[in-house]
Amino acid sequence: MGNLLKRKRHLIILTGLLILNLGVWFYSHARLPIWANVPPAPSLISASTAFLGDKEMAYRSLALTLQSFGNNTGQVQALKDYNYKNLGTWFDLGDALNSKSNYVPFLAGYYFGASQDPSKLMPVINYLRRIGVYPDEDKWRYLGQAVFLARHKMKDKELALQLADELAKTYKPGMPAWPLQMRAIIASDMGEKEMAYNLMVDSLMSEKSNLDPIEVNYMLDQICNYILTPDKRETNPLCKDVKK
């Protein structure tokens, strides 16, 4: 018996260690990663150093990380539970690494902007407000999204009007007319009919030669049927040929 134990001791030790390993597994297998919410973004230097100075690689990798926040531990989180203040630092990092790409602006405007808690949206709006005035093609659309978030999600019409004013300044011939019309629509919505009238007429007169006839008709319709009162409409020469 003693001889047998001596000859098989390596197998006995192996079996004992396997059992010990099983004990460790019983303790650890139920411990799953816990969602620790959005951490603050690393600095620009740290982020690009981690990718050996390749800023494009850093941007793309961090953008995918941003997209997967809240969904990378097998537990899907609601956007309202995200730390939007920290999320704002990730947007800024993305902007510092690559200001040409539309990926992070798209995520910010159309994904993180859909939070169930609109009171948290200021970091998203501030970010979209900043990149919306960049001269690259179509960046102004993100400022348009910021106007939408401020007006319809946060219900902050004062902020929406400020943003719409900035949006109108990005207008260039060839763009659709709604960036020009937005501030007048919001002013009208706020009851500032005179301001709305002046803004809409100003947009119409200054850009009439660049606008599509359909856009011109829409603006006339807004002026005559929504902004002006019926009696003012009768006397306004712009409304002469506009249907009621």
Partner 1 sequence: MSLILIKYILMGAFRDRLLWGIAIMSLVVVCLSVFTGSAAIIEQQQFIITYIAGGLRIIALLGLALFTVFFVRRSFDSRDVEFLLTRPISRISFIISHIVALSILTAVAGLFISIIVGGLSYHYGSQASVFLWCFGITFEFMIVTSIAFFFAMVLSSPVSAGMATFGFYILARLMGQLLSIIEHTPNAVDIHDRVMNGLSYIVSVISIVIPRLDLLAQTSWLIYGGGVLSDWIFILAQGIVFISLIAIAAWVDLRRRQF
Sites of contact with partner 1 (CB under 8 A): 45, 48-49, 51-57, 60, 63-64, 67, 98, 100-103, 106-107, 111
Q: Which is nearer to partner 1, 105 or 179 (CB)?
A: 105
CB closer to partner 1, 21 vs 43:
43
User: At closest approach, how far in Å is the CB of 171 from partner 1?
Assistant: 25
In the complex, least distance from residue 69 CB atom to partner 1, rounded to whole angstroms: 13
Q: In the complex with partner 1, which residue's Cβ is closer, 25 or 111?
A: 111
Q: CA–CA separation, 225 vs 244, rounded Å? A: 6
Least Å distance, CB 141 to partner 1, is 13
Contact 223, 238 (CB under 8 A): yes
CB of 74 to partner 1, least distance (A): 16
Of residues 102 and 210, the one with the C-beta less far from partner 1: 102
Rounded Cα distance, 167 and 132, in Å = 8
**What DSSP string runs through 58-79?**
HHHHHHHHHHHTTSSSS----G
Q: Which residues of 99-108 are buried (b: 16+ CB within 10 A; e: fewer)?
A: eebbebbebb
Is residue 236 within 8 Å of 224, Cβ to Cβ?
yes
